[in-house]
């Protein structure tokens, strides 16, 4: 009981201290909505934030202990005239202390380690019983291509997803590596050429969540922002059907996307096969099959970006 | 070399070492009246090599078992070369090289094994 | 012929290098070069330069060479940092173009890690390790000089990139396939790979050298458990170097082959697998960050004991923890790519192994505090850096643990939270440690103290500047700002914090200026150190006069205790009571031009390969072969320092009896 | 390993360990070998990960011919034996025998390199070079690095022969030969792993 109350007030203290520091730093600003990592909008981001906060609190305990000891020592044992603190120049060992500095941190770490492992494994699996929307994501220099294999539609630099339904992003790259990251929905995953990596995310409520790449990939990389629009299941349905009647993406259009440029949003009613590595297009987890490779388009011309 | 005329015995060198309490590093030297050891090593390495070769070429066992066996044979052979030809345990004072050598084989096998493990991509979301 | 000239100009000075500021720097460098040449000629110092410095094999002089190089590199890396910060404070005005920003963060990271941090550490190794263990030199003096020149010419090769041909621009990690020819033409990345391979060979040789030195060259009586902590950290760091650098060399070489010879290790096409590079790089990279911190743990252990006037608390535990860190350092590399889909089992394993490192590191932190406990702390500049280190590293370590929490890392990877973490440990740990060591051992290296008042000014500016720069970056991380972007939209609320951070960076810049002023002032007017033991030290290097004579010890001391010199002082003994008959001839290594020429040949080879100008590369290769042949057939590599000479030197130092 | 040990009492240190500085170089050389082990371990890791990335090119099983490989193995194993006998002779102070054994080692090594080059050329004729696939890149660099080491060793041994002729067996030449022999045996070990892990394994899959 007491421990819990102590924990509670300690927790408040930590948060208050952090908030105060932040407030000082960012001109009267508390942890408002711009702290996207602290304002998750989906189960994945929430569980990630949860372990993060847990670990942060435990580390704060350690920090408090260490700093208390430290400041006490440097204040008390200064070499000033008339310092009455005991002076023990040959004190060099104390078994209990020496053992507990190994044991206590180890115990503390257990409290971080167990939730870490648990969450890591749980995040690796889609929630059972929910049918996910599949979106194939290809990072290009320097834009994002989203292809909906079931609906046969494609978008560039934005994606629309239904809220409250898991989304399975299949990630690859026809370019240098990037990471696919939508901070409010959950953590990132690399997009790599010759590989398809899965990542599932889910939005709790409708809204527009920005995403970005976390891995540097060239001069246009900082423009690789995109939006994920979570809408209701019904709006999602209508969106897919209306989009299906948009202009299809041609191979020529895909070639243009391969160029090293930045572009705005676009929407396509269909897209050619082979632009995303699938088993059907000869892709296997160990071999090639990427569009660029299959069509032998290595050595793309380099178009330097000027200023912007 | 001026100072080294008074040549020194293995024991003296060992006694002079600051760390002679680390017993397992105590150097050993072969007695070599006739190169028996070398011949033994040579024959041994040939036998090990060709054993592996014939096991594989005749597919006597399932693949995984064969792989384990031939890797074991290779490791044995490495030990043979190290012990017989490379005189790992020789040294002046202590044979310090033994520690990094143990370590490096550990790390080397760890590196190969772990790399395979990491790059297998068992990450499928189910 | 005429068509040759435009080709050359175009290759050496492509548009990215033809920027006005860089041309200005080109011009400045040429002027400075001419100035130096004129100065050397006028003062007739060429011979001095060649015989006393460029061909030296004396560890104490090599230490000074390393030190100069690393301070220059700290300035270069620091200016890069200030440029980065300036750009980030002005996201809308484009202080510099994207392409240049990319080059600047790449050179900043690479220089700080490989050409500032490592050589600074080697400067400290060279300056004191032989003295601490009572030896006359390192195990392989000539190899030591070769290490230096390989490092130096590697550094030069890396640094000329920005005035000739264009800098590398793929980050200090240089992940493919972005470093492949398809996305990254031009010589920049070639510079990076070649310079790092060359400097890396030098580093590996240093590792071998100091491992053997600490294993084999200790004075009689100094068993492993009587070595000073700094020597322990040297030994462990050397072992780490041996085990860490080979994977880097392999990864770099394979990337280079992809670029130069059309192999397919990490390319998009033909089954190349960029992730293997990442794997090999961090197999090196994680041990590397411990290479950058363990020596400083050693420095702090010396400094804290000396200035607390107390023995180090828990010596055996300190040794155990440093060795434990070494082992664990090899088992954590995947934490740099948790987000590469290796699967939950792999990630969980490496997350846990990473957290384990907190335990031995924590042990060290606690033991330093217990060392101060019950002491009498003298707040010299060296000690101030030590004291500042504890809280800063505590925070940096704690955020490291947060990054090791796999699900949290999914969110924090490559964000500014990460940038803040690693500056916290790299500045609070590495840089503070280096500066602490610099102030502590400066009297031993140069025979004079650095001015303490100025030193404290620099210290406080560094410390304050540090917090102001990097605390906001944690918050930026929480706001989702990713690293390596040169501009950002204003709508995310990133701007204010970036301005604060930049402000802090300039405070650190001011600190550096004070530091340089401090060094220059002290060289001119500094207080001489006549005792050789200005801090009332504990280890053997303080038993010698400052600066130390060429042969270090006229008579090799016999060690009975852990803090050997302290114990001798307690017993009223001294090494300054040498009797003439104790002094004998000493065998010393002879200076040699080979190391310098070897480094130069590697430079030529590297330069030729960078531009794929094979004739030049072949010239360099032939040079290397010749150097190797010469040193193979050179049996005349040492000389005998006569006892009389030593007696005379010792007599003038007032250390000879009778 | 139970090898016959002489009663250590009063056993003289062999010449290569007699001088303190020279003997330190042997320890240093061991440390160098440690780094080299890891160079090869990195290459083996790469090969292990890449060996299925054949793209459109040939697989290991299609490519490897065991004949030349067995010959190479035999040559290298024998050369390891001959240099071992060289050290044996050196310890007995027999310069001429030492030089003869070293010379024989060089010849065997040269035979190895020739066979290997021949093998590589035959691959190239099948368009199996490292431009072909990641697998072949990894294979070529692993086997090629070993081959380059052997080639370097041959040149090194030649310079040692000259030094032996000039100085005879001294503390320094003895140390140099000794380190060379370490290097050579080490390459033999690496080859055994290449033989097993690359060639035999290739025939398994
Ligand atoms: C000097 C260099 C240095 C040091 C010492 C460290 C130390 C640590 N680092 Fe750091 N790290 C870097 C330099 C360093 N790091 C760099 C340069 C990068 C980025 C590279 C790049 O991408 O460019 C990086 C990146 C990095 C990552 C990758 C993040 C990512 O890319 O997503 C991770 C993840 O686990 C991590 C973790 C740690 C941990 C757990 C420690 C631990 O060793 C810290 C241990 C210390 C403490 C914990 C404090 C003291 C302990 C106690 C007082 C005891 C009590 C504590 C507990 C019970 C927990 N680091
Ligand atoms: C030991 C290593 C080290 C050190 C000391 C520093 C020091 C600093 N670093 Fe750096 N940093 C790295 C290692 C280091 N860094 C690494 C590895 C990266 C990753 C690179 C990558 O992404 O690939 C990085 C990246 C990095 C970034 C991220 C860039 C990005 O991702 O876009 C930033 C941004 O703020 C930054 C800032 C700073 C600052 C302000 C300092 C300050 O401490 C600097 C203070 C300034 C000085 C010390 C010198 C000032 C000089 C003068 C004022 C001239 C004076 C002239 C005379 C006296 C003649 N660093
Ligand atoms: Cu003169 Cu040895
Ligand atoms: Cu790390």
Q: Averaged over C339-351, what is the pLDDT?
A: 88
Q: Averaged over C427-443, what is the pLDDT?
A: 94
Is residue C581 pLDDT above 70, yes or no? yes
**A15 lies in a domain?**
yes
User: Of A110-119, A124-133, B101-110, C12-21, where does mean pLDDT reach its minimum?
Assistant: C12-21
Q: Is the CB of C585 under 6 A from ligand 3?
A: no
CB A193 within 8 A of CB A172: yes
Q: What is the pLDDT of residue C271?
A: 76
Is residue B2 pLDDT above 80, yes or no? no
Q: Averaged over B79-101, what is the pLDDT?
A: 85
Band of residue C527 on the pLDDT scale cut at 50, 70, 90: confident
Q: Check residues A162 and B12 and name the one with the higher pLDDT.
A: A162
Closest-approaching ligand to the CA atom of C289? 1
pLDDT tens track for B15-66: 888 888 888 888 888 766 778 888 888 999 999 988 888 888 887 788 888 8
Q: Is the CB of C419 under 6 A from ligand 2?
A: yes
Q: Averaged over C23-39, what is the pLDDT?
A: 82
Q: Is the CB of C174 under 6 A from ligand 1?
A: no
pTM, full prediction: 0.93
Q: Which residues of A touch D60 (CB under 8 A)?
A: none
d(CA D53, CA D55): 6
Share of chain C above pLDDT 90, in %: 65
**A278 lies in a domain?**
yes
Q: Averaged over C587-612, what is the pLDDT?
A: 93
Q: What is the pLDDT of residue A308?
A: 29
Q: Could you tell me which of A195, A193, A207 has the C-alpha nearest to residue A41?
A: A207
For D51, the closest chain A residue by CA position comes to A286
Is residue A301 pLDDT above 60, yes or no? no
Q: Which residues numbered 22-81 in B keep a CB inside 8 Å of some CB on D?
A: 28-32, 35, 37-39, 41-42, 45-46, 49, 52-53, 56-57, 63, 66-67, 70-71, 73-74, 77-79, 81
Q: Please give the structure tokens belonging to residue D191.
A: 């080859």
CB A38 within 8 A of CB A56: no
Q: Is the CB of C404 under 6 A from ligand 1?
A: yes
CA C290 to chain centre: 12
d(CA D110, CA D107): 5
Q: Averaged over C644-651, what is the pLDDT?
A: 87
CB contact under 8 A, B124 and A285: no
Helices H, strands E: what count in chain B? Answer: 4, 0
Q: Averaged over C75-79, what is the pLDDT?
A: 91
B111 touches chain C (CB under 8 A): yes
Q: In what order do the strands lie in the sheet with A197-201?
A: A197-201, A167-173, A133-140, A143-148, A153-156, A266-268
Q: Averaged over C46-73, what is the pLDDT?
A: 91
Given A102, A123, A144, which residue is the final one in a domain? Answer: A123
pLDDT tens track for A259-295: 888 888 889 988 887 777 654 333 433 333 344 343 3
- State whether A138 and A99 are in the same domain: no
For C245, the closest chain D residue by CA position comes to D35
Domain boundaries, chain C: 1-292, 296-528
Is residue C154 pLDDT above 90, yes or no? yes
Angle between helices A95-123 and C358-372 (to 10 degrees): 150
Band of residue C477 on the pLDDT scale cut at 50, 70, 90: very high
Is residue A9 pLDDT above 70, yes or no? no
C215 Cα to chain D: minimum distance (Å): 9
Share of chain C above pLDDT 70, in %: 99
Q: DSSP label at C540?
A: G
Residue of B119, B120, B123, B125 to mutate when probing chain A, most A C-beta within 10 A: B125
Angle between helices D171-193 and B36-57 (to 10 degrees): 20
Q: Averaged over A125-152, what is the pLDDT?
A: 86
Q: Could you tell me which of D204, D193, D64 has the C-alpha nearest to residue B65?
A: D204
Highest mean pLDDT among C36-50, C176-190, C458-472, D56-70: C458-472
d(CA B95, CA B83): 13
Q: What is the pLDDT of residue C197?
A: 96
pLDDT tens track for A213-253: 999 988 888 889 999 999 999 999 999 999 888 888 888 88
C143 touches chain B (CB under 8 A): no
B125 touches chain A (CB under 8 A): yes
Q: Which residues pair with C586 in a beta bridge?
A: C641
Q: What is the pLDDT of residue C108?
A: 94
Domain that holds residue A190: 133-304
CA C411 to chain centre: 31
Is residue D102 pLDDT above 60, yes or no? yes
Q: What is the pLDDT of residue C111?
A: 94
- Dihedral (C-alpha) D124, D130, D132, D137: value to the nearest 10 degrees? 140
Q: Which residues pair with A198 in a beta bridge?
A: A170
Is residue D11 pLDDT above 80, yes or no? no
Ligand 1, atom 50: nearest CA belongs to which residue? Answer: C362
Ligand 2, atom 58: nearest CA belongs to which residue? Answer: C513
Is residue A5 pLDDT above 70, yes or no? no
Q: What is the pLDDT of residue A289?
A: 32
CB contact under 8 A, B21 and C223: yes
d(CA C264, CA A188): 28
Band of residue D8 on the pLDDT scale cut at 50, 70, 90: very low
Q: In what order do the strands lie in the sheet with A158-162?
A: A158-162, A226-231, A207-211
Q: What is the pLDDT of residue A293?
A: 40
What is the distance in A from the centroid of ligand 4 to the CA of C276?
17
Band of residue C241 on the pLDDT scale cut at 50, 70, 90: very high
Domain that holds residue D38: 4-204
- State whether A143 and A275 are in the same domain: yes
Strand A178-182 with A186-191, pairing:
antiparallel
Q: What is the pLDDT of residue A8?
A: 63
Calculate the average pLDDT of chain A. Answer: 80
Q: DSSP label at A154?
A: E
Q: Please give the structure tokens belonging to residue C609.
A: 């390969």
Atom of ligand 3 nearest to the CA of B1: 2
What is the distance in A from the centroid of ligand 2 to the CA of C519?
21
What fold, for C296-528? Cytochrome C Oxidase; Chain A (1.20.210)
pLDDT tens track for C369-421: 999 998 899 999 999 999 999 999 999 999 999 999 999 999 999 999 999 99
Q: What is the pLDDT of residue D5?
A: 44
Q: What is the pLDDT of residue A12?
A: 64
Is residue C92 pLDDT above 80, yes or no? yes
Indicate which CATH number applies to the domain containing A232: 2.60.40.420
Q: What is the pLDDT of residue C380?
A: 93
Q: What is the three-state SS of C116-159?
A: HHHHHHHHHHHHHHHHHCCCCCCCCHHHHHHHHHHHHHHHHHHH
Q: Which residues numbered 21-60 in A keep a CB inside 8 Å of some CB on D?
A: none
> Which residues, at least 6 apart from C379, have a Cβ–Cβ distance to it below 8 Å?
A78, A79, C307, C387
CB contact under 8 A, C275 and B2: no
Calculate the average pLDDT of chain C. Answer: 90
Q: Averaged over C180-189, what is the pLDDT?
A: 84
Angle between helices C188-216 and C118-132 (to 10 degrees): 10
Structural domains in chain A (count):
2
Q: Averaged over D28-40, what is the pLDDT?
A: 95
Q: Averaged over C49-64, what is the pLDDT?
A: 91
Q: What is the ipTM of this complex?
A: 0.91
Is residue C432 pLDDT above 90, yes or no? yes
Q: DSSP label at C225?
A: G
Q: Averaged over C94-105, what is the pLDDT?
A: 86
Q: Is the CB of C569 under 6 A from ligand 2?
A: no
Angle between helices C229-261 and C274-291 (to 10 degrees): 160
- State whether A99 and A62 are in the same domain: yes
Band of residue B5 on the pLDDT scale cut at 50, 70, 90: low
Structural domains in chain D (count):
1
Q: What is the pLDDT of residue B126?
A: 32
Is residue D183 pLDDT above 80, yes or no? yes
Q: What is the pLDDT of residue D205?
A: 66
- State whether A173 and A37 are in the same domain: no
What is the distance in A from the centroid of ligand 4 to the CA of A123?
23
d(CA D186, CA D195): 14
CB atoms inside a 10 Å sphere around CB C579: 10
Q: Please give the structure tokens belonging to residue C293.
A: 């911190």
Ligand 3, atom 2: nearest CA belongs to which residue? Answer: B1
Q: Which residues of A touch B125 (CB under 8 A)?
A: 124-126, 168, 198-200
Q: Which residues of B touch D192 (CB under 8 A)?
A: 45, 49, 74, 77-78, 81
Residue of C341, C350, C637 to mutate when probing chain B, most B C-beta within 10 A: C341
Strand A266-268 with A167-173, pairing:
unpaired
Is residue B122 pLDDT above 60, yes or no? no
Q: Which residues pair with A148 in a beta bridge?
A: A153
d(CA C122, CA C115): 11
CB C123 within 8 A of CB C71: no
Indicate which CATH number applies to the domain containing D177: 1.20.120.80
CATH C-level class of C1-292: mainly alpha
> Which residues, at least 6 apart from A18, have a Cβ–Cβ distance to it below 8 Å?
A31
E strand or H helix that includes residue C586: strand C586-589
Q: What is the pLDDT of residue D46?
A: 93
Q: What is the pLDDT of residue D13?
A: 82
- Dihedral (C-alpha) A242, A248, A253, A257: value to the nearest 10 degrees? 40
Q: Check residues B17 and D115 and name the one with the higher pLDDT.
A: D115
Q: Which residues numbered 185-224 in A keep a CB inside 8 Å of some CB on C?
A: 186-190, 192-195, 197-198, 210, 212-222
Q: Check residues A2 and B108 and name the one with the higher pLDDT.
A: B108
Contacting subunits of D (3+ beta carbon pairs below 8 A): A, B, C
E strand or H helix that includes residue C93: none
């Amino acid at each position: 009981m007491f421990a819990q109350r102590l924990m509670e007030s300690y927790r408040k203290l930590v948060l208050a201290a952090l908030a105060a520091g932040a407030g000082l730093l960012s001109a009267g600003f508390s942890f408002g909505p711009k702290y996207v990592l602290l304002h998750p909008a989906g189960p994945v981001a929430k569980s990630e934030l949860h372990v993060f906060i847990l670990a942060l609190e435990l580390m704060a305990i350690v920090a408090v202990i260490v700093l208390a000891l430290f400041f006490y020592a440097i204040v008390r044992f200064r070499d000033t005239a008339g310092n009455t603190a005991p002076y023990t120049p040959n004190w060099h060992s104390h078994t209990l202390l020496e053992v507990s500095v190994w044991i206590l941190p180890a115990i503390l770490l257990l409290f971080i380690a167990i939730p870490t492992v648990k969450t890591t494994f749980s995040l690796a699996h889609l929630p059972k019983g929910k049918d996910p929307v599949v979106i194939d994501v290809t990072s290009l220099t320097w834009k994002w291509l989203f292809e909906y294999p079931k609906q046969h539609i494609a978008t560039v630099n934005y994606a629309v997803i239904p809220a409250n339904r898991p989304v399975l992003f299949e990630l690859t790259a026809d370019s240098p590596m990037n990471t696919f990251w939508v901070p409010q929905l959950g953590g990132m995953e690399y997009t790599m050429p010759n590989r398809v990596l899965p990542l599932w995310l889910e939005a709790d409520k409708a809204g527009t969540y920005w995403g970005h790449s976390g891995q540097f990939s060239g001069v246009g990389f900082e423009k690789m922002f995109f939006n994920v629009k979570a809408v209701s299941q019904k709006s999602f349905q209508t969106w897919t059907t209306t989009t299906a009647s948009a202009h299809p993406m041609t191979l020529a259009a895909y070639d243009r996307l391969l160029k090293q440029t930045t572009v705005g949003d676009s929407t396509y009613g269909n897209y050619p096969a082979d632009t995303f590595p699938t088993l059907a297009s000869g892709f296997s987890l160990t071999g090639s099959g990427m569009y660029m490779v299959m069509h032998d388009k290595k050595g793309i011309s380099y178009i330097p970006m000027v200023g912007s | 070399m001026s100072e080294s005329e008074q040549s020194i015995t293995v024991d003296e060198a060992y006694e002079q070492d600051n760390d002679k309490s680390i017993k397992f590093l105590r150097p050993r030297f072969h007695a070599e009246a006739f190169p028996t050891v070398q011949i033994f090593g040579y024959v041994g390495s040939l036998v090990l090599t060709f054993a592996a070769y014939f096991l594989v070429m005749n597919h006597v066992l399932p693949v995984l078992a064969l792989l384990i066996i031939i890797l074991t044979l290779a490791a044995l052979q490495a030990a043979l070369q190290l012990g017989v030809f490379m005189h790992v345990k020789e040294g002046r004072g202590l044979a310090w090289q033994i520690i990094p050598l143990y370590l490096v084989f550990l790390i080397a096998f760890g590196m190969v094994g772990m790399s395979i493990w990491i790059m297998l991509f068992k990450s499928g979301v189910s | 012929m005429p068509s040759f000239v435009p080709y050359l100009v175009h290759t050496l000075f492509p548009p990215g290098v033809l920027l006005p500021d860089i041309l200005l720097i080109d011009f400045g460098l040429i002027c400075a070069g001419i100035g130096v040449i004129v100065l050397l000629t006028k003062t007739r110092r060429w011979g001095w330069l060649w015989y006393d410095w460029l061909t030296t094999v004396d560890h104490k002089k090599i230490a000074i060479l390393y030190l100069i190089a690393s301070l220059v590199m700290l300035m270069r890396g620091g200016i890069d940092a200030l440029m980065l910060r300036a750009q980030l404070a002005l996201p809308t005005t484009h202080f510099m173009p994207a392409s240049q920003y990319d080059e600047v963060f790449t050179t900043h990271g690479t220089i700080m890690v490989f050409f500032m941090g490592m050589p600074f550490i080697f400067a400290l190794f060279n300056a004191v390790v032989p003295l601490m263990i009572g030896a006359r030199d390192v195990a392989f003096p000539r190899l030591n000089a070769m290490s230096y020149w390989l490092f130096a010419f590697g550094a030069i090769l890396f640094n000329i990139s920005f005035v000739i041909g264009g800098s590398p621009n793929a980050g200090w990690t240089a992940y493919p396939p972005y470093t492949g020819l398809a996305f990254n033409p031009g010589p920049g990345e070639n510079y990076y790979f070649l310079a790092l391979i060359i400097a890396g060979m030098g580093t590996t040789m240093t590792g071998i050298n100091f491992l053997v030195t600490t294993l084999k060259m200790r004075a009689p009586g100094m068993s492993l458990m009587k070595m000073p902590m700094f020597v322990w950290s040297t030994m462990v760091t050397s072992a780490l170097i041996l085990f860490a650098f080979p994977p880097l060399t392999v990864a770099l070489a394979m990337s280079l082959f992809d670029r130069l010879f059309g192999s397919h290790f990490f390319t998009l096409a033909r089954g190349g697998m960029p992730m293997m590079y990442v794997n090999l790089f961090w197999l090196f990279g994680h041990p590397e960050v411990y290479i950058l911190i363990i020596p400083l743990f050693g420095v702090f252990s010396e400094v804290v004991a000396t200035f607390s006037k107390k023995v180090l608390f828990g010596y055996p535990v300190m040794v155990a923890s440093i060795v434990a860190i070494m082992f664990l350092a090899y088992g954590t590399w995947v934490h740099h790519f948790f987000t590469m889909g290796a699967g939950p089992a792999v990630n969980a394993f490496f997350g846990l192994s990473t957290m384990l490192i907190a335990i031995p590191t924590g042990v060290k932190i606690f033991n330093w505090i217990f060392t101060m406990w019950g002491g009498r702390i003298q707040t010299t500049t060296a000690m101030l850096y030590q004291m500042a280190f504890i809280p800063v590293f505590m925070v940096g370590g704690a955020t490291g643990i947060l990054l090791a929490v796999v699900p949290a890392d999914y969110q924090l990877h490559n964000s500014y939270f990460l940038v803040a973490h690693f500056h916290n440990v790299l500045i609070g740990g590495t840089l503070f440690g280096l500066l602490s060591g610099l102030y502590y051992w400066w009297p031993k290296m140069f025979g004079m103290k650095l001015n303490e008042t100025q030193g404290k000014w620099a210290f406080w500016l560094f410390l304050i500047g540090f917090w102001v720069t990097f605390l906001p970056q944690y918050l930026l991380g929480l706001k989702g700002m990713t690293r390596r972007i040169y501009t950002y939209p204003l709508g995310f609320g990133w701007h204010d914090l970036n301005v604060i951070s930049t402000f802090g960076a300039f405070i650190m810049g001011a600190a550096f200026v004070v530091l340089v002023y401090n060094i220059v002032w002290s060289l001119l007017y500094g207080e001489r150190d006549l005792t050789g033991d200005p801090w009332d030290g504990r280890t053997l290097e303080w038993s010698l006069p400052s600066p130390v004579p060429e042969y270090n010890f006229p008579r090799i001391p016999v060690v009975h205790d852990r803090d050997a010199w302290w114990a001798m002082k307690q017993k009223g003994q001294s090494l300054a009571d040498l009797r003439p008959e104790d002094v004998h001839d000493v065998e010393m290594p002879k200076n040699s031009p080979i190391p310098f020429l070897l480094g130069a040949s590697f430079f030529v080879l590297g330069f030729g390969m960078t531009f794929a100008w094979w004739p030049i590369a072949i010239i360099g290769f032939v040079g290397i072969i010749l150097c190797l042949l010469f040193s193979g057939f050179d049996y005349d590599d040492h000389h005998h320092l006569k006892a009389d000479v030593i007696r005379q030197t010792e007599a003038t130092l007032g250390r000879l009896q009778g | 390993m139970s090898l016959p040990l002489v009663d250590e009492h009063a056993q003289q240190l062999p010449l290569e360990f007699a001088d303190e500085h020279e003997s330190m170089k042997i320890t240093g050389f061991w440390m160098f070998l440690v780094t080299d082990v890891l160079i090869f371990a990195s290459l083996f890791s790469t090969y292990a990960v890449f060996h299925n990335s054949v793209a459109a090119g040939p697989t290991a099983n299609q490519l490897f011919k065991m004949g030349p490989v067995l010959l190479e193995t035999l040559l290298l194993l024998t050369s390891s034996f001959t240099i071992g006998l060289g050290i044996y002779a050196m310890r007995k102070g027999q310069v001429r025998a030492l030089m003869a054994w070293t010379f024989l080692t060089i010849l065997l090594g040269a035979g190895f390199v020739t066979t290997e080059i021949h093998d590589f050329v035959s691959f190239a004729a099948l368009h199996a070079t490292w431009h072909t696939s990641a697998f072949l890149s990894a294979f070529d660099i692993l086997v090629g690095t070993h081959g380059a080491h052997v080639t370097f060793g041959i040149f090194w041994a030649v310079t040692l022969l000259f030094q032996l002729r000039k100085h005879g067996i001294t503390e320094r030449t003895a140390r140099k030969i000794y380190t060379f022999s370490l290097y050579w045996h080490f390459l033999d070990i690496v080859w055994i792993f290449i033989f097993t892990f690359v060639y035999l394994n290739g025939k398994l899959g």
